[in-house]
C-alpha cells in the first residue's frame, strides 16, 4: 500500500506540472495508449478509463483512472505520461504488472515431507511474487529444519521467469545430518526428580551411537505426559513455560532444557456420588480409590469414574455414563470431586447374531459364549466370551458390538463379528534338537475338523492330528482326535494311538519303545476350568542293554504292559494359546496303574506356569514354570518302569545339562563303569525366564533353571542342580520356529560339563 500511495503522489505531481505548462491552451487529447501489459488484457484496462481520445485534458480524471486501475489488484506500478507532437497530445498509461508464482518446487528434502515444507512458506502457487521476501522464505525453512533437529541444513532459492509475469521458485535443500540429543535437563522441578521425569519421556538422550533421535511430535507428547503426571501428584496447575534447544559440536549434538512451573499441591477435600438410584453411595465408594484427604490424583480420579461406569455396564446398564467433575478452590488448594452418574435402563439380551463365519458352525461359536438370550447383559461375561473364541484358534479377529434397535427397548442384540483364520496346517521337513538329534517330520493338524461334513471336513470344532517323526534318536507315529462336544452333550471325547521309540545316549546306549493308545473324556466345569479323565493302554520295552549290565538295570529289560486310569484338572487363564503375555495355566494329574497288565504304580504330577507382562507395551514378559511329581509302586510291583519315572536335565527341564543327566544313577557294572540314569520317584523343576519381544518374529531370552530328581529315601534339596543362560528365538514365516539356548551349569558334578547348547528347530514347507 505504501508503494501504491507513493506512486499516486508522483503521478499526480507529474500531471500537475505538465498541466501547468499547458494551462493556457486547454489542449485536447488526441490518443490514449496503454503500455506494459503482458497477462492482463488491454480491453479490461480501457474499460476502467475515464479519459478518452477527443476529450479536453483533465489531470483529475487521469488521477481517477490510475486509482481505478490500482483497484484491479493486477499492477504494482502505474504511470501516466503526457507528450505533445505537432500540436497533438498523447496520454500513455505505463503499467507494470504484478508477477505471480506459477510453480513452487521443493528439492532435496528427505526427512520432511513436501506438504510440511510448503506450509512454512508464505509465497505459494498463485500468490504475488515478491523478490524482497527471498530471505524471509529461506529463513523460515531453516527454522523449520532446526526445530526438527537439523541444525546444518542449507537452503538455496532460485526464481525463474517462465512466462509473462509468471515465476517459478525452486527451493534446493541440503538437510545435513540430524543432531543427536546429548542431554535432557529440567529446570524448576522440585516435587519430581529429573530421573523420574526422564522415565516418562519417549525422547531419550544418545548413548554412544544409539538413540538420541529428536522428533518434534514425540517431544510434544512427552511434554504433555509430564504435565499429566504432575496432576497425579496433586500439581493440577503444573505447566511447561518453555523448552530450549542448544546445538553443540557444529550442529551434530543438542542439549534439551525443559523449564517447569510445578504449581501448588492440591488435596481432595470432598468426594460425592450423584445421580445414583440403583446402587447406594457406600456400594459405589468401595470401587473408588481416591478418598477425601488424599493428594488429588488426576489419572486415578478418571480411572475411578471408568471403574464405576464399567461396573454399571457389566451389571446390565449398558448405556450408563459416569463423569468426574472436578472443582478447584485456588485459595485453599483443595478440590471437590463429583462422580455424576447417568444410570440409564437395565438391558437384557434378545438375540446373539453371528456374522463372518463361513466355515465354523454357529453352535461351535455359541458354546464359547458365556451369555445366552434372555440373560441380563454382563460386560465381563461378554469379554470372557471373546477370549474363549480367540483361544479356539479358529479366528484371526473377534469383534463384538451391541445393536439397539430401539433405545427405549429393554432388550439389545449382541453382534459377534468374526474373521476366520487358517483352520489347519500341513507341514513337513527336517529338524534338529540337541536332545533328539537330526530327523524328518510330517504333520497334518486340523483345528476345526468336522468328521461328518464331507468333503470339506471343516467347521465342527473337532481336532485331528496325524504326526510322523523319524530321526537318529526318536521315531514317533501318532493319531489323535478330539470332539469338544460329543453327540450334542457337553462332554469332550477323544482318543490317541501312538508308537514311539527313543534311543537313549548316555552311559549305556539302549532303546525305549512304547506303543498303545488311550480314550479321553472331558467336561468343562467353568470358563477357565476343565476336568479330563483317560484310560491308557501301553506296551513298553527296553532293549539294547548288554547281558552283563548291573542287575538293578537289568530287571528293566523286556516287555511289560501298563493299563492306567488318569484324572486331570486344568485351569487356564492365558490370554493367548501361542506366545501369551498374561495369565496362568495349572495342571494337576493323578494316575493309577494296575487295572490289569504287569505294572502297578500311582503317579502325582503338577505343572504350573505364570506369565506377567512388564510395561504397557508388553515387550518384556516374565514367566515362571514349576513342575512337581511323585511316583511309587504298590501291590505286586517291585519297581516303577523306567518309562514312567521322572528325569531332569536337557532342553525341556534344566538347560546346561545333558538330557536325563540329573537324578539317581547306577554303575553300569555294579562296582565300576559309567553311570546309568535310572530316573527317580520325586521331581522338582523350576524355570524363571525373562523374554524381550524385539519384533513380532524375534525374541531374546534370559533364564534361570533349577531341578532335581530323587528316590524316596534319598531326598535332599541340597542336591538340586542350577543353571543360567541366554537364548534367542525366531519365528520364520512359512518355515517355523527356531530357538537356540545356551545354559551354564552353576553347580555341576565333575562329569556334567561346563555348558551346553540347546537347539530346537523345524523347517516347514
Task: Read off the pLDDT of residues 244-268 as tens digits, 9 standing for 90 and up.
Answer: 888 887 778 889 999 999 999 999 9
Tens digit of each residue's pLDDT (9 = 90 or more) over 388-400 = 888 888 888 899 9
Indicate if 348-420 has the same CATH topology as 100-174: yes
pLDDT at 138 over 70: yes
DSSP 3-state of 83? strand
| Backbone φ and ψ of 477, nearest 5° | -135, 130
Residue bearing the bigger pLDDT, 434 or 417: 417
E-state strands within 525-662? 529-543, 558-572, 583-597, 601-614, 620-633
Tens digit of each residue's pLDDT (9 = 90 or more) over 437-482 = 566 667 788 888 888 888 878 888 889 999 887 877 778 899 999 9
pLDDT value of position 23: 45
pLDDT value of position 137: 87
- 664: burial class by Cβ within 10 Å (0-12, 13-18, 19+)? buried
The band of 97, judged by pLDDT with boundaries at 50, 70 and 90, is confident
- Are 175 and 144 within 8 A, CB to CB? no
- Are 505 and 473 within 8 A, CB to CB? yes
The band of 21, judged by pLDDT with boundaries at 50, 70 and 90, is very low
Residue bearing the bigger pLDDT, 761 or 301: 301
Grid look-up 468401595 returns 286
Sorted by where each begins, the domain ranges of the chain are: 2-97, 100-174, 180-261, 267-342, 348-420, 481-764
Q: Where are the alpha helices (DSSP H) in 32-120?
A: 42-46, 59-71, 114-119
DSSP 3-state of 311? helix
The band of 485, judged by pLDDT with boundaries at 50, 70 and 90, is confident
Share of the chain above pLDDT 70, in %: 89
The CATH number of domain 180-261 is 3.40.1410.10: no
CATH number at 2-97: 3.10.20.310
Q: What is the mean pLDDT of residues 190-205?
A: 91
Alpha-carbon span 322 to 341, nearest angstrom: 5
pLDDT at 360 over 50: yes
- The C-alpha cell that represents 743 in the structure block: 545354559
- The C-alpha cell that represents 760 in the structure block: 530346537
Tens digit of each residue's pLDDT (9 = 90 or more) over 622-670 = 999 999 999 999 988 888 888 889 999 988 899 999 888 898 887 766 6
pLDDT at 685 over 60: yes
pLDDT value of position 230: 95
Average pLDDT over the chain reads: 84
pLDDT at 111 over 90: no
> Which residues, other chains included, contact 645 with Cβ-Cβ below 8 Å and sequence gap of 6+?
631, 678, 679, 680, 681
The band of 486, judged by pLDDT with boundaries at 50, 70 and 90, is confident
- Identify the DSSP state of 28: B
Tens digit of each residue's pLDDT (9 = 90 or more) over 690-748 = 999 988 788 999 999 999 999 887 888 888 999 999 999 987 665 567 888 999 999 98
Residue 552: Cβ within 10 Å count: 13
The band of 672, judged by pLDDT with boundaries at 50, 70 and 90, is low
Tens digit of each residue's pLDDT (9 = 90 or more) over 44-61 = 888 888 888 888 888 888
CATH number at 100-174: 3.10.20.310
- Are 511 and 543 within 8 A, CB to CB? yes
Tens digit of each residue's pLDDT (9 = 90 or more) over 205-234 = 888 767 778 887 888 899 999 999 999 999
- Are 370 and 314 within 8 A, CB to CB? no
- Identify the DSSP state of 232: T
Residues written for the chain: 765
Q: What is the mean pLDDT of residues 406-411?
A: 72
pLDDT value of position 418: 92
Domain at 267-342: CATH architecture? Roll (3.10)
Q: What angle do CA 349, 352, 358 make, to 5 degrees?
A: 175
Residue bearing the bigger pLDDT, 501 or 269: 269
Tens digit of each residue's pLDDT (9 = 90 or more) over 321-354 = 999 999 999 999 999 999 999 988 888 999 999 9
Q: Identify which of 104, 71, 78, 105 has the alpha carbon closest to the alpha carbon of residue 14.
A: 78
pLDDT value of position 406: 64
Question: DSSP labels for 528-562?
Answer: SEEEEEEEEEEEEEEE---TTS-HHHHTT-EEEEE
Distance of CA 681 to the CA centre of its chain: 45
pLDDT value of position 567: 96
pLDDT value of position 700: 95
- The C-alpha cell that represents 692 in the structure block: 524381550
The band of 592, judged by pLDDT with boundaries at 50, 70 and 90, is very high
pLDDT at 420 over 70: yes
Tens digit of each residue's pLDDT (9 = 90 or more) over 160-191 = 887 777 888 898 998 878 888 889 999 999 99
Alpha-carbon span 29 to 45, nearest angstrom: 18
- The C-alpha cell that represents 269 in the structure block: 477435600
Q: Identify which of 347, 471, 461, 456 has the alpha carbon closest to the alpha carbon of residue 406.
A: 347
pLDDT at 761 over 70: no
Pick the CATH number of 481-764 from 3.50.50.60, 3.40.50.300, 2.40.160.50, 3.10.580.10: 2.40.160.50
Grid look-up 551346553 returns 756
Topology annotation, domain 348-420: Ubiquitin-like (UB roll) (3.10.20)
Q: What is the mean pLDDT of residues 584-595?
A: 95
- Are 261 and 281 within 8 A, CB to CB? no
Amino acid at each position: 500500500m505504501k508503494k501504491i500511495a507513493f506512486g499516486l503522489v508522483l503521478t499526480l505531481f507529474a500531471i500537475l506540472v505538465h498541466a501547468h505548462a499547458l494551462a493556457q491552451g486547454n489542449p485536447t487529447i488526441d490518443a490514449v495508449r496503454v503500455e506494459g501489459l503482458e497477462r492482463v488484457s488491454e480491453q479490461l484496462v480501457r474499460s476502467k478509463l475515464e479519459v478518452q481520445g477527443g476529450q479536453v485534458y483533465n489531470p483529475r480524471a487521469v488521477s481517477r483512472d490510475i486509482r481505478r486501475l490500482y483497484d484491479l489488484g493486477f499492477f504494482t506500478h502505474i504511470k501516466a505520461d503526457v507528450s505533445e507532437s505537432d500540436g497533438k497530445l498523447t496520454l500513455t498509461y505505463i503499467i507494470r504488472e504484478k508477477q505471480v508464482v506459477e510453480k513452487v518446487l521443493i528439492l532435496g528434502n528427505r526427512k520432511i515431507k513436501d506438504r510440511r515444507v510448503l506450509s512454512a512458506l508464505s509465497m505459494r502457487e498463485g500468490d504475488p511474487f515478491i523478490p524482497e521476501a527471498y530471505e524471509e522464505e529461506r529463513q523460515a525453512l531453516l527454522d523449520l529444519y532446526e526445530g526438527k533437529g537439523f541444525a546444518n541444513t542449507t537452503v538455496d532459492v532460485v526464481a525463474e521467469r517462465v512466462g509473462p509475469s509468471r515465476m517459478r521458485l525452486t527451493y534446493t535443500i541440503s538437510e545435513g545430518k540430524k543432531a543427536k540429543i546429548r542431554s535432557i535437563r529440567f529446570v524448576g522441578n522440585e516435587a519430581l526428580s529429573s530421573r523420574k521425569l526422564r522415565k516418562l519421556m519417549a525422547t531419550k538422550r544418545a548413548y554412544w551411537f544409539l538413540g538420541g533421535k529428536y522428533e518434534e511430535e514425540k517431544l510434544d507428547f512427552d511434554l504433555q505426559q509430564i504435565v499429566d503426571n504432575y496432576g497425579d501428584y496433586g500439581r493440577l496447575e503444573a505447566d511447561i513455560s518453555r523448552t530450549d534447544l542448544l546445538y553443540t559440536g557444529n550442529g551434530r549434538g543438542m542439549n534439551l532444557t525443559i523449564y517447569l512451573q510445578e504449581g501448588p499441591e492440591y488435596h481432595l477435600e470432598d468426594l460425592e456420588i450423584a445421580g445414583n438410584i440403583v446402587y447406594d453411595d457406600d456400594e459405589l465408594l468401595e470401587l473408588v480409590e481416591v478418598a477425601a484427604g488424599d493428594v488429588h490424583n488426576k489419572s486415578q480420579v478418571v480411572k475411578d469414574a471408568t471403574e464405576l461406569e464399567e461396573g454399571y455396564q457389566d451389571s446390565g446398564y449398558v448405556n450408563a455414563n459416569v463423569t468426574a467433575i472436578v472443582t478447584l478452590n485456588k485459595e485453599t488448594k483443595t478440590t471437590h470431586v463429583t462422580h455424576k452418574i447417568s444410570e440409564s435402563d437395565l438391558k437384557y439380551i434378545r438375540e446373539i447374531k453371528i456374522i463372518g463365519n463361513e466355515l465354523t458352525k454357529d453352535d461351535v461359536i455359541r458354546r464359547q459364549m458365556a451369555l445366552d438370550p434372555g440373560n441380563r447383559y454382563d460386560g465381563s461375561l461378554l469379554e470372557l466370551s471373546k477370549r474363549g473364541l480367540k483361544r479356539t484358534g479358529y479366528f484371526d479377529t473377534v469383534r463384538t458390538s451391541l445393536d439397539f434397535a430401539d433405545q427405549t427397548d429393554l432388550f439389545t442384540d449382541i453382534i459377534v463379528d468374526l474373521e476366520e483364520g487358517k483352520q489347519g496346517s500341513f507341514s513337513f521337513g527336517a529338524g534338529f534338537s540337541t536332545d533328539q538329534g537330526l530327523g524328518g517330520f510330517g504333520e497334518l493338524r486340523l483345528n476345526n475338523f468336522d468328521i461328518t461334513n464331507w468333503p470339506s471336513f471343516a467347521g465342527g470344532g473337532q481336532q485331528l492330528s496325524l504326526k510322523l517323526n523319524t530321526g537318529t534318536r526318536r521315531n514317533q507315529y501318532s493319531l489323535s482326535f478330539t470332539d469338544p462336544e460329543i453327540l450334542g452333550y457337553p462332554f469332550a471325547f477323544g482318543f490317541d494311538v501312538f508308537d514311539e521309540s527313543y534311543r537313549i545316549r548316555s552311559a549305556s546306549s539302549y532303546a525305549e519303545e512304547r506303543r498303545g493308545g488311550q480314550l479321553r473324556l472331558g467336561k468343562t466345569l467353568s470358563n477357565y476350568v476343565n476336568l479330563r479323565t483317560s484310560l491308557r493302554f501301553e506296551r513298553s520295552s527296553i532293549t539294547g542293554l548288554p547281558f552283563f549290565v548291573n542287575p538293578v538295570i537289568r530287571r528293566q529289560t523286556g516287555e511289560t504292559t501298563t493299563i492306567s486310569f488318569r484324572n486331570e484338572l486344568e485351569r487356564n487363564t492365558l490370554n493367548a494359546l501361542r506366545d501369551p503375555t498374561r495369565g496362568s495355566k495349572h495342571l494337576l494329574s493323578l494316575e493309577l496303574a494296575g487295572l490289569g497288565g504287569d505294572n502297578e504304580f500311582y503317579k502325582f504330577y503338577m505343572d504350573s506356569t505364570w506369565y506377567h507382562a512388564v510395561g504397557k507395551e508388553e515387550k518384556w514378559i516374565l514367566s515362571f514354570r514349576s513342575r512337581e511329581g511323585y511316583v511309587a509302586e504298590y501291590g505286586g510291583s517291585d519297581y516303577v518302569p523306567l518309562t514312567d519315572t521322572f528325569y531332569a536335565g536337557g532342553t525341556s527341564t534344566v538347560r546346561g545339562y545333558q538330557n536325563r543327566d540329573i537324578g539317581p544313577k547306577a554303575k553300569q557294572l555294579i562296582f565300576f563303569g559309567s553311570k546309568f540314569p535310572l530316573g527317580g520317584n520325586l521331581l522338582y523343576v523350576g524355570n524363571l525366564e525373562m523374554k524381550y519381544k524385539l519384533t513380532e518374529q524375534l525374541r531374546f531370552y534370559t533364564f534361570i533353571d533349577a531341578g532335581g530328581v530323587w528316590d524316596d529315601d534319598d531326598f535332599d534339596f541340597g542336591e538340586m542342580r542350577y543353571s543360567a543362560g541366554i537364548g534367542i528365538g525366531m519365528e520364520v514365516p512359512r518355515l517355523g520356529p527356531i530357538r537356540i539356548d545356551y545354559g551354564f551349569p552353576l553347580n555341576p558334578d565333575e562329569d556334567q560339563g561346563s555348558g551346553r547348547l540347546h537347539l530346537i528347530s523345524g523347517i516347514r514347507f
